[in-house]
A and B are shown apart, each in its own frame.
Chain A
Amino acid sequence: MRNLKYLKNIATLKLDPGKCTGCTICTLVCPHAVFEMKNKKAVIKDLDACMECGACTLNCQYEAISVDSGVGCAAAVISGMLGRTDAKCCCVQEIKKRC
């Protein structure tokens, strides 16, 4: 089974090597193996695999990682654009930037 990949060069994930202490937590929480350890620091190995879930950012206590996290759900984007907040979808979200 090959790994499914989403759109190229779109993920907003950024890592500041200056702040990274090499604690490895990002490599543990990431569900898509985006990070790997190189010379005792985390590096982004596979940016296109990032789904912007935000697990790494939340668990990096050194604030070395940033990402505009959200849920990649078209129904939630539609609900958000229509200004709905009571949608049944589990992932209602505010849409900051439109097209």
Chain B
Amino acid sequence: MKNKYIINTIKFKGKDVPVISWQLNFSDIFGAVKVRLGIKRDHYRINPGLYALGTPDKASHVFVSANYKLSFDSLRSKLKGINAWILVLDTKGVNVWCAAGKGTFGTDELNLRIKESDLAGLVAHRRLIVPQLGATGVAGHLVKKHSGFSVTFGPVRSSDIPDFLKNGLKATPIMRRVQFPLQDRVVLVPMELVTGFKYLLLIIIFFFMLGGLSSTGYSFTTAIQRGILSSILLLSAYFSGAVLGPILLPWLPGRSFSIKGLFAGFIVVPVLFLGFLRSFSLLEIISWSLIIPLLSSFLTMNFTGASTYTSLSGVKKEMCLYVPIQIIGVIGGFVLWMIDRFIR
């Protein structure tokens, strides 16, 4: 049941080589939706080793992939109609690019899998097609030195592989570039929402509990009223930082993600005050005007890790500059909100 994508096995030197097809079935697609929502994302892996896609022979290409099933499924489905070998590295269930950054999609692991699968006995040629983003972990010249196989870096996106093959294993400049178009950002949004949700829930409960405090004692009615208002505002801050920030990324001002997130927060602030202006004191307005944009700034800053173009030096620079402001602003806003509870 678990390995529905394996349709057959063939024998090579006494070992079973799983045969897979280009077709993604319902469980592959359902599994992809689940991991995009963060459900069992850390366990969406396949066994590392050699796979036969279709009916490859000793002249067929060898593609190298990661044992994150989403990466593996993307590769095999885009190779539609092409018979090939797929050599899956043990990246602990992490995608090619992240694993390459970590070193698990790396030279040593690749050399090990080449040896273990006896690839040299299986194919007549000595060439591996490694995804370009694997180059962060795989040193082509060192693979050649240790295994005899030369590495050809394929395109960034698996959907370009058929054209890459037709071009005689040449990728065009555009195939070599990582971009970050809307659809790529949108699929990451659910994960952004899931990641911080438990913290948001804790903060909301916190605001509910403190909402009933006043100089005259504790009121549960006020707690509920204030709590509902606070949670709507906190949810908007969450929405702006985790949804608007990533989606509007190219159009938000600034280069730092913190600044982009701040502006995403500004978008939702006026929308909310239109409805709540009447029941809010000036102090409360000031307090939420600090909390919403700065919380949003922090959340969008955390999207740097999911983005495709931020450098470590840059992230460190923006964090040193903006994290203190985010912390002081949010805590300051909270203190003002508490003071407002008692001077009413």
Q: Which residues of A contact B (CB under 8 A)?
A: 1-8, 10-12, 25, 28-33, 49-55, 58-59, 61, 68-78, 88-91, 93, 95, 97, 99
Please list the 3 inter-chain residue pairs (A to B) with the smallest Cβ-Cβ separation, ordered nearest first. A73-B305, A70-B312, A72-B310
Pick the contact of A11: B133, B311, B316 (CB < 8 A): B311
Cα-based distance from A31 to B154 in the complex (angstroms)? 12
Can you list 28 A-B contacts (CB < 8 A)?
A2-B250, A4-B307, A5-B255, A5-B309, A7-B317, A10-B317, A11-B314, A25-B140, A29-B153, A32-B177, A32-B178, A33-B177, A51-B310, A53-B101, A55-B135, A58-B135, A58-B138, A59-B135, A61-B139, A61-B141, A70-B311, A71-B98, A72-B311, A72-B313, A73-B315, A74-B257, A90-B94, A90-B101
User: Contacts A51-B308, A72-B312 given; 9 further ones with Cβ under 8 A?
Assistant: A31-B132, A50-B311, A59-B135, A70-B313, A71-B98, A72-B310, A72-B313, A91-B98, A99-B319
Q: Which of A7, A25, A33, A70 has the most CB of B within 10 A?
A: A7
Cα-based distance from A71 to B313 in the complex (angstroms)? 9
Q: Kindly supply a per-residue 1/0 record for chain B positions 174-205, scoring 1 wherever the CB is within 8 Å of any chain A CB and 0 otherwise.
A: 00111111100000000000000000000000
B residues 126-179 near A (Cβ < 8 Å) are 132-133, 135-141, 153, 156, 171, 173, 176-179
Q: Across the interface, do B139 and A12 meet the contact criterion of CB distance under 8 Å?
A: no
Q: Across the interface, do B178 and A75 meet the contact criterion of CB distance under 8 Å?
A: no
B304 within 8 A of A: yes
B102 within 8 A of A: yes
What distance in Å separates the Cβ of B38 from its nearest Cβ neighbour in chain A?
10
Q: Across the interface, do B305 and A6 meet the contact criterion of CB distance under 8 Å?
A: no
Give the residues in chain B near A12, CB-CB below 8 Å.
313
What distance in Å separates the Cβ of B173 from its nearest Cβ neighbour in chain A?
7
Give the residues in chain B near A28, CB-CB below 8 Å.
132, 153, 171, 176
Q: Across the interface, do A69 and B102 meet the contact criterion of CB distance under 8 Å?
A: no
Cα-based distance from A3 to B141 in the complex (angstroms)? 31
Main SS of chain A's interface residues?
loop
B residues 284-323 near A (Cβ < 8 Å) are 301-302, 304-305, 307-320
Give the residues in chain A near B94, CB-CB below 8 Å.
90
- With CB as the reference atom, state the residue of chain A lying closest to B151: A59
Give the residues in chain B near A91, CB-CB below 8 Å.
98, 101-102, 305
What distance in Å separates the Cβ of B41 from its nearest Cβ neighbour in chain A?
9
Cα-based distance from A59 to B141 in the complex (angstroms)? 7
Cα-based distance from A98 to B95 in the complex (angstroms)? 29
Pick the contact of A1: B137, B179, B310 (CB < 8 A): B179
Cα-based distance from A58 to B140 in the complex (angstroms)? 9
Given contacts A55-B136, A74-B257, A74-B319, contact A68 B313 (CB under 8 A): yes
B99 within 8 A of A: yes
Q: Kindly supply a per-residue 1/0 record for chain B positions 230-260, scoring 1 wherever the CB is within 8 Å of any chain A CB and 0 otherwise.
A: 0000000000000000000110000111000
- With CB as the reference atom, state the residue of chain B lying closest to A58: B139
- With CB as the reference atom, state the residue of chain A lying closest to B95: A90
What distance in Å separates the Cβ of B262 from its nearest Cβ neighbour in chain A?
14
Q: Across the interface, do B181 and A1 meet the contact criterion of CB distance under 8 Å?
A: yes
What distance in Å separates the Cβ of B66 from its nearest Cβ neighbour in chain A?
11
Q: Which of A7, A53, A90 has the most CB of B within 10 A?
A: A90
